[in-house]
Structure formats: structure tokens, C-alpha cells
């Protein structure tokens, strides 16, 4: 199993550009999450999904969109990139049993908006 994979690893965007961060998991996990991590800050939840076709906002969703057409894939879309979106983005998945479960994280995408 590859686990959770993310592409690209690094990206530089100009202000106003758009891009999609890809996330794929091969563990057949129902639940998937997108976080951003800024220096000295904890991980902040952007969006999450509890299954194909179901998505919901997390703590910091503004400026982002997601879709979940398959169990495996959970892409994060940035429209009109802003410098405030410079961060490291992590995708995670989990398979809770009895509402309890650890999350498996991808290696992250480091995004710079200039």
C-alpha cells in the first residue's frame, strides 16, 4: 500500500492563479481531510469528507473548494490564490471504528503564493 499520496510536493503560484492539490489514498478509507500548517501553528482543518459525494467545511474553508467523486480521491482547489494561502497542505484519511480512529497523513504539499 502506498497509503496517502499527494501531488505536487512543491508549487509556487502567482497571486490570482488557481491550482488543484491532488490527494489519493489506497486504504479504502471513507473519511478524508485537508489541513494547512503554518509555521509555529497547529494543523487547521480546511475541509473534510465522510464518503464519496459528501463534503463539509472545516475551520478555515475560505478560498478553497473540494470534491469527492470517488473513495480514493479528494482534490483541494484553490481559486484566486492569495499570499495568505502560503502554507504546507496535508491530506489525511481515516477509517473510524465506533467513531474512533487515527488519521493517516500524506507527505504534504508546500505552496508559496507570491
Partner 1 sequence: SQKIEQNSEALNIQEGKTATLTCNYTNYSPAYLQWYRQDPGRGPVFLLLIRENEKEKRKERLKVTFDTTLKQSLFHITASQPADSATYLCALAYGGATNKLIFGTGTLLAVQP
Q: Which three cell numbers stand for residue 87?
A: 502554507
> In this complex, which beta carbon is closest to partner 1, that of residue 78 or of residue 108?
108
Strand pairing partners for 32? 49, 93
87 by DSSP, 3-state: which?
strand
Q: How far is the CB of 3 from partner 1 (least distance, A)?
A: 10
Determine if 14 is a binding residue for partner 1 (CB under 8 A): no
The set of residues, in sequence order, having a beta carbon less than 8 Å from that of 17 and lying 6+ positions away, is 80, 81
Between 2 and 14, name the residue whose CB sits nearer to partner 1: 2
The total of other beta-carbon atoms located within 10 Å of residue 29's CB is 21
Residue list 17-36, contact with partner 1 (CB under 8 A): 31, 33, 35
Residues of this chain that bind partner 1 (CB under 8 A) = 4, 31, 33, 35, 40-45, 48, 50, 56, 58-59, 90, 92, 94, 96, 99-108
Amino acid at each position: 500500500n502506498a497509503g496517502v499520496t499527494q501531488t505536487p510536493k512543491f508549487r509556487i503560484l502567482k497571486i490570482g492563479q488557481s491550482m488543484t492539490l491532488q490527494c489519493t489514498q489506497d486504504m479504502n478509507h471513507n473519511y478524508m481531510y485537508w489541513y494547512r500548517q503554518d509555521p509555529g501553528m497547529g494543523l487547521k482543518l480546511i475541509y473534510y469528507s465522510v464518503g464519496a459525494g459528501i463534503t463539509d467545511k472545516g475551520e478555515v474553508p475560505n478560498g478553497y473548494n473540494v470534491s469527492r467523486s470517488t473513495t480514493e480521491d479528494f482534490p483541494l482547489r484553490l481559486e484566486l490564490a492569495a499570499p495568505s494561502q502560503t502554507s504546507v497542505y496535508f491530506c489525511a484519511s481515516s477509517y473510524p471504528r465506533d467513531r474512533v480512529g487515527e488519521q493517516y497523513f500524506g507527505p504534504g504539499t508546500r505552496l508559496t503564493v507570491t
